[in-house]
Structure formats: C-alpha cells, structure tokens
Amino acid sequence: MALAPAAWTELRLAISRLLAIQSEGQQKATPHLHAMATAELFLPVRPGGFVDFFASIQHATNAGSIFRPDAPLLPNYKHVPIGYNGRTSTIMVSGLPVRRPCGQTRPTSMDGPVFGPSQRLDFEAELGIFVGGSNKQGVSIPLRQAWQHIFGFCLLNDWSARDIQRWEARPLGPLLGKAFGTSISCWVTPWEELAAARVDPPPRDPEPLPYLRGPGDQGLDLALEVRLNGEVISRPPGSSLYWTAPQFIAHLTSGGATLRPGDLLGSGTMSGPERNQRGSLLELSWGGTDPLPLADGGTLTYLRDGDELLITASGPGLDGARVELGEVRGQVLPAHTP
C-alpha cells in the first residue's frame, strides 16, 4: 500500500497468473491453498487512521426525518462531505463476534440518564476504502489524483448503539455509541478489479465547490445484500452515494490532514429510496416505530443477542463477470456487565 500504483498492478497480475485455472502457476500454488472454513482469518492491515463519512443522501434524509421531521437534511449536507474520526483499536476482521456495549442513555420517560446495555444495537452496511500512498501534512491531494491514492475496497459494518449515540452525540458527535466495534472484510479488492464498476455520481444541486468537482469524481455501481440469521433483509445500492471516495480524499487533505498507507475510510450507511434498500435497522424499523417484518412471522426493531449479520456485495468486473467483494460477518454477544 505504501508503493506506487504500478506496483499494485504488478502484484495483482502476478497473483492472477499464479491462480489461473489449469496453469503452471496454479499447479505450483495448489499445495499451499487452504479452505477458508479451516483457516483463522486476520485483518488485512491494521489501519492507523479511520474516518467514517455520511455519504448516502438517502440515509441522511431518512435519519434526519426520524429525528428532525421538519428539517431532515441539514444545510451543509450538499456542500461538504460530513464525517467523523473513528476508533481504530476496535476494528476487527469479519467472523469475530461483537459484544453489546454498555453506556449512558436517556429513556424518553426519564429526566436524566441511566447506565446499562444498549437496547438499540444496529448495523450499518458500508463500503470501506483503503488508502495507498501518502501526502505531506498540509499538502492537499487534488480530486483528479485521488484514485492514485485508493488501494482497494472492502465491506464494512459500523456497529452502532443508537440509544447511546443519541444521548452523547450533541454537540461533538458520536463516541461510545460507535467505539465498540467496526467489522471489515478479511481481504481487500484492488480498485483495478472494479474499474468497470465506476459510475458518475448522482446529479448535485448546488454544484460542489471547485476542489470537490471535476475529473476523478466517480462512484461504484455495487449491489449489496444484508442477511440477518440467513434471511435477506436489505439490498442497498452502492451507486446511491452522494459523495464519492475520491471526494473523501480531496476533502480530508484540503484541510491539511495527513493520509498514510493503510488508513481506512468508510462510506457511511448505504441506502436507497425503497424500504428494502435501507442499510440500517434505524431506517428499516423507522427508529423502532415501524418494526421490520421477518419471514418467521416475527418483527424486529434492533439487534438481539445471538443475531448474526452478513453483508456481501458484487460489482461488474473487467471481463464481464461479477467481482465479489470480501464478506463481512459478525454475531452479537451479550453485554459484559461487571
């Protein structure tokens, strides 16, 4: 990731040649291949920095409608990519369980807060972007060069405690409601594998400021699928993002921030206009007021202990086939209470 894009291409092609079906390379590689079901998986890289954005305008509008019906979309949303600095120490690889967090919440029936396990545990279906290369502090990366700093993509589940988040988020944003766990794929899909998936962003009105528009401003046409205990509950469209990964990089560095190889950027929850395209239970159950119907006849508002979430995605590949991104999976464990 610290090397130039030419090195990324060389590595990608070398691995492709090594694994090509019925090739001499595959014959040499086969004795060293192992079934994933019997393997212990690790993070592809330990990110030094993690910034999670809020790039889906549909998600922003849905969340705003739940909490601020009179003003769902804040005035700055169409002008600036909104994000927050997340916690890298609790980023974990797909397959590891996440423990229900404890924290302060304020039930609507009470004047003050209480402490205990979150009752509104949620998932967020996101795209993760791994940074390649770096920049010097105070030196911005222009939008037209941003793709040269995108090493590849993964899937990301930013587990969220909505009741903790709601109580603590003003005025400085989330802390414990987002700090307890973020799950990512165990491998990274190089951006070149998804070159055919690059699409123009949705129409924007008003136009972004000059440093956020122009060549390089492209999103990805991905199809996501979210399964709860094996049942499909959502299919968010990746192309719905209002802000794109290159804009994340251009915006972050425009203010002087330093990016380093292996830093992780999150897209924020991906959501489309239909109910079955919403990328979080906050939206799927409309803040708990309209529970999500399940195939077994039950309903769901937020995650229960023992629930398992699986997020998968694919996009068009260079040869016309679909490219599958690495899945992200995690099961909810009960809270640890001393």
pLDDT band at 21 (very low <50, low <70, confident <90, very high): confident
8 A C-beta contact, residue 180 and residue 90: yes
Q: Over 90: is that where the pLDDT of 54 sits?
A: yes
Q: What is the phi-psi region of residue 306: left when phi exceeds 0, alpha when psi lies from -120 to 50, beta otherwise?
A: left
Is residue 179 predicted with pLDDT exceeding 90?
Answer: yes
pLDDT bracket for residue 170 (50, 70, 90): confident
pLDDT of residue 285: 98
Per residue in 228-268, pLDDT tens? 999 999 999 999 899 999 999 999 999 999 999 999 999 99
* 44-99+122-333 CATH fold: Fumarylacetoacetate hydrolase; domain 2 (3.90.850)
Question: How does the average pLDDT of the chain come out, rounded?
Answer: 95
Confidence (pLDDT) at 72: 94
Check residue 88 and give its pLDDT: 97
- How high is the pLDDT of residue 240? 85
- Which pLDDT score, from 0 to 100, does residue 53 have? 98
Model pLDDT, residue 36: 86
Whether the CB-CB separation of 205 and 183 falls below 8 Å is answered with no
pLDDT digits (tens, 9 = 90+) for 307-334: 999 999 999 998 888 999 999 999 999 9
Active site (catalytic) residues: 59
Mean pLDDT computed over 130-153: 97
φ/ψ of 274, rounded to 5, equals: -90, 155
Alpha-carbon distance of 175 to 161, in angstroms, equals 10
Cα separation of 210 and 217, whole Å? Answer: 12
CB 167 within 8 A of CB 338: no
Domain ranges for the chain: 44-99+122-333
Q: Quick one: pLDDT at residue 337?
A: 79
Q: How confident is the model at residue 110 (pLDDT cuts 50, 70, 90)?
A: confident
Query: Is pLDDT above 80 for 338?
Result: no
Q: In this structure, are residues 50 and 266 in contact, taking their beta carbons and an 8 Å threshold?
A: yes
Q: Which pair of structure tokens corresponds to residue 269? A: 């929850």
- To the question of pTM greater than 0.85 for the whole model, the response is yes
